Amino acid sequence: MDIQSLFNLDGRIALVTGGSRGIGKMFVEGLLSAGAARVYISARKIEQMQATIDEMNAQFGADKVIGISADLSQMDGIMALVGELKARESHLDILINNAGAAWGQPYLEFTEAGWHRTMDLNVKTPFFLTQKLHDLLVEGGKQGRPAKVIHVSSIDGQRINPWETYAYQASKAGVIQLTRRMAARLIQDNIVVTSIAPGAFPSEMNKAAKDAPDASAAGIPAGRIGVAEDMAAAAIYLCSRAGDYVVGDTITVDGGVVNALLPNHFADPAGKG
């Protein structure tokens, strides 16, 4: 058994939406470190995207990361990204649907605008972007290995959090079920669909983990927040040969919050009651 070949991504072509910062950027670095040939990233903020492109290309080599500006909350933005990618590539090996939005408001004040933006970007976009890239993924699956699609869900789709993020929690639970349903269909075309449910990782969406990591770590059984290697490792596993037989599942990467957090853990981070 060749362990090196189990986990390498040599020659793969990937697209990571929302790949310019936070968890998306962790995915990009992980894919490149594992040998991906090219990683496309999409983002709305061009300057921020360019900074990530420059950083990654300086580390891994010129033209390893290619940016495409797109607002994926709208169908025309999805189609623009698809058109640009199809103009550049004949197949796609990896698609990581990472772009997302969160919205928090008190129950009696929660707006339709917040509901629609969150649901559209978190649930509609992964489905339709994958659908519109289906032919490229089919071609990727003909390269002697299955193509891979990863939806980024959240532990907030697996348990209740303390905040009034109604649409966000509903959307992420929906992504987990959407992953299972899409996996059942796409495996017929040699495309493996899975999901990663992150816990506390530093990002613009999770400012608590970014700005106060020690305080965030107090509520995590592992005693720390997530780092880039944790997220990269999960993606490499699922995208490589190692993850070929994992179909429709959600991998929880959270330091034990969902599965190992005792009822009194928040009251006493040491878990002593």
- Fold type of domain 3-253: Rossmann fold (3.40.50)
User: Please, what is the end-to-end C-alpha distance for the chain in angstroms?
Assistant: 46
The answer to whether the beta carbons of residues 126 and 175 sit under 8 Å apart is yes
Residue with tokens 């699956």: 141
Residue 245 appears among annotated catalytic residues: no
Query: Helices (H) and strands (E) in the chain — how many of each?
Result: 11, 7
Q: Which pLDDT tens digit goes with each residue over 54-87?
A: 999 999 999 999 999 999 999 999 999 999 999 9
Q: Which pLDDT tens digit goes with each residue over 217-261?
A: 888 999 999 999 999 999 999 999 999 999 999 999 999 999 998
pLDDT at position 267, please?
A: 44
Among residues 20, 30, 144, which one has the least CA distance to residue 93?
144
State percent of the chain over pLDDT 90.
85
Q: Which pLDDT tens digit goes with each residue over 121-169?
A: 999 999 999 999 999 999 999 988 999 999 999 999 999 988 999 999 9
Confirm whether pTM is higher than 0.85.
Answer: yes
- Band (207; pLDDT cuts 50, 70, 90): low
> What span, in angstroms and rounded, lies between the C-alpha atoms of 83 and 89?
10
pLDDT at position 273, please?
A: 31
The amino acid at 153: S
- Catalytic residue, from 107, 166, 168, 237: name it: 168
